[in-house]
Amino acid sequence: MKTKFSAFLLAALLLAGTAWAQPTISPVVSDTANVLDASLIEGIADINRQTERELAISYRVITKHFLGGAQAISYARETRESYANPDQIILLVMVIGEERYAVSIGSAAQALISQDAMDSLLASAFRLPFLNRDYSGALAAFTAQLAGQMQNASGKVIDASMLYAGAALVPSPSADPLDGFFREPAQSMDHARRYQEETEEAQRGDRGLSIWQIALIGFVLFKIFGRNRRTGQKRGCGPLGWIFGTWGISKFFGWRK
Amino acid sequence: MRKVSLTFLAILLLFVFTAASVTIGAVKGFRQEKAQVDSALGSLGPLFATRVETGNNLLTVAHRHLPPENALVEAVARNVQELSAQGPLPLRAQANTRLEENAKALLAALENTPGVQADSRDLSYVTGLLPQALDQSAQWTDAGSYNQAAMAFNERLNGTFSGFLARLFGEAEAQLFIP
């Protein structure tokens, strides 16, 4: 019984460990700039399911307001490489406030669509509506063309008929607008939290004795020096005097908390 | 006579060891505290990246509506450059303070340009999202928190006997940012 229980516990721990070790699953569309139509996002998620099932290729879209001075293509490449299985990913980054975009294609995905073909698709289907701020329209047209291209290259059917192009011409503030403003908002917040914690800690100072520790030290000193060992007679002040004396000296040395 | 001199030596040694342990404890303790203050200062460095990003984002919008030779655009660009440079942190903190002032002035100037008024997207950036990001990044890089920590350390260093011992053995005051 005990062995079974141990085996069960070990299996549970292993499962938990595996789950912990898995990389974070990125959303298909990360619309941090809040410019895309909800049904378009659903449609793209559906196309991604099909490409993952039929071609083992994932499609990801990120919208951001700004990149804070970074190149869109560098950001796209770095972000794709941070995902699990980056070789199988096609990532489109739309930078709304900078009026720029970039696509990064993983090496496995390049077997289906080359960078040149991708540039041509972007120029023909995406560029004009994107610059006219029809972000959903641009993305829907581009995704439909991309699905067609992958279908032609692989011979597998990718149904893009459910894509719907809505109209969201003005970026509205999202729940957390900073997500779309900073390149790595989570990392920035982490740094900010660490800075706050470290300044608070430094302000407190981590040394010093508590009042109880001071009282204990005072009492021990009284026990050692407060009585004549041979005669057993009291010497000097009582325990409280020693405790207050220790308290005063600890202030003088800066040992108090 | 020999017994008396041994007792005297023992007492002398007791005092020497006690003084040494108190001094070593004081110096070690203050070094640890100083390391904490320095670590807090070091954490501020990466946070300046958020200010650089915010400054660059503001410049992106400004370049669409104002000429590059505009004084405020130039000032913000200069502050962003100073903040990006890997110079001493106090200098970067000063550039950060100047960026705050210049960025606010540039936002106000941008809001009044006909180009921004006619562009609903950029108007929403200039009146809403950019000031929010500017405030947030200013909050993150608040040098006041560091200054408080450094001042508390300096107070302990200058106001206690242990601090006196630490100073005697070379422990210096923590540097303060001058806004």
pLDDT of residue A169: 43
Chain A residues touching chain B at CB-CB below 8 Å? 65-69, 96-98, 133, 169-173, 177-178, 181-183, 188, 191-192, 194-196, 198-207, 252-255
Rounded Cα distance, B37 and A52, in Å: 50
Does the beta-carbon distance from A254 to B33 stay under 8 Å?
Answer: no
pLDDT of residue A240: 84
Kindly indicate the confidence band of residue A206, based on its pLDDT and cuts at 50, 70 and 90.
Answer: low
Does the beta-carbon distance from B149 to A191 stay under 8 Å?
Answer: no
Pick the residue of A34, A71, A190, A199 with the most B CBs within 10 A to test the interface with B by mutation: A199
Pick the residue of A169, A179, A203, A255 with the most B CBs within 10 A to test the interface with B by mutation: A203
User: Chain B contacts of A178, Cβ < 8 Å?
Assistant: 132-133, 136
Answer whether B46 touches A (CB < 8 Å).
yes
Kindly indicate the confidence band of residue A207, based on its pLDDT and cuts at 50, 70 and 90.
Answer: low
pLDDT of residue A225: 81
Residue A176 has pLDDT above 90, yes or no: no
Exposure of A78 in the CB half-sphere (CA atoms within 13 A): 9
DSSP letter at A177? T
pLDDT of residue A236: 76
> Could you give phi then psi for residue A104, rounded to 5 degrees?
-115, 130
Where is pLDDT greater, at B145 or A255? B145
Where is pLDDT greater, at A176 or A111? A111
End-to-end CA distance of chain A: 52
Shortest Cα–Cα distance, B96 to chain A (Å): 15
The average confidence (pLDDT) of chain A is 82
A64: helix, strand or coil: strand
User: Chain B contacts of A199, Cβ < 8 Å?
Assistant: 40, 145-146, 148-149
Does the beta-carbon distance from B133 to A178 stay under 8 Å?
Answer: yes
Q: pLDDT digit string (tens) for B39-50?
A: 888 888 888 889
Does the beta-carbon distance from B54 to A181 stay under 8 Å?
Answer: yes
Report CA-CA distances (Å) from A1 to A5, A12, A15, A197, B100. Answer: 6, 16, 21, 48, 68
Pick the residue of B129, B130, B132, B177 with the most A CBs within 10 A to test the interface with A by mutation: B129
The enclosing H or E element of A93 equals strand A89-95
Residue A188 has pLDDT above 70, yes or no: yes
Where is pLDDT greater, at A207 or A111? A111
Where is pLDDT greater, at A9 or A250? A250
CA-wise closest residue to A195 among B37, B123, B69, B24? B37
pLDDT, average across residues A242-256: 78
Answer whether B77 touches A (CB < 8 Å).
no
Answer whether B43 touches A (CB < 8 Å).
yes
Pick the residue of A176, A181, A188 with the most B CBs within 10 A to test the interface with B by mutation: A181
Which residues share a beta bridge with A64? A95
Chain A and chain B share a number of CB contacts under 8 A equal to 127
pLDDT, average across residues A218-225: 84
Where is pLDDT greater, at A249 or B58? B58
Q: Which residues of chain B have pLDDT under 50?
A: none
Supply the ipTM of this predicted assembly: 0.75
pLDDT of residue A116: 93
Work out whether the CA dihedral B11, B16, B19, B22 comes out positive or negative: negative
User: Chain A contacts of B168, Cβ < 8 Å?
Assistant: none
pLDDT of residue B22: 79
Residue A232 has pLDDT above 50, yes or no: yes
User: Chain A contacts of B160, Cβ < 8 Å?
Assistant: 252-254
Rounded Cα distance, A34 and A170, in Å: 9
Residue A18 has pLDDT above 50, yes or no: no
Q: pLDDT digit string (tens) for A21-62?
A: 444 567 899 999 989 988 899 999 999 999 999 999 999 999
The enclosing H or E element of A63 equals strand A58-64
Rounded Cα distance, B75 and B69, in Å: 10
Rounded Cα distance, B103 and B61, in Å: 12
Among chain A residues, CA nearest to B165: A253
- Contact in structure between A110 and A71 (CB atoms under 8 Å): no
Q: pLDDT digit string (tens) for A51-93?
A: 999 999 999 999 999 999 899 999 999 999 999 899 999 999 9
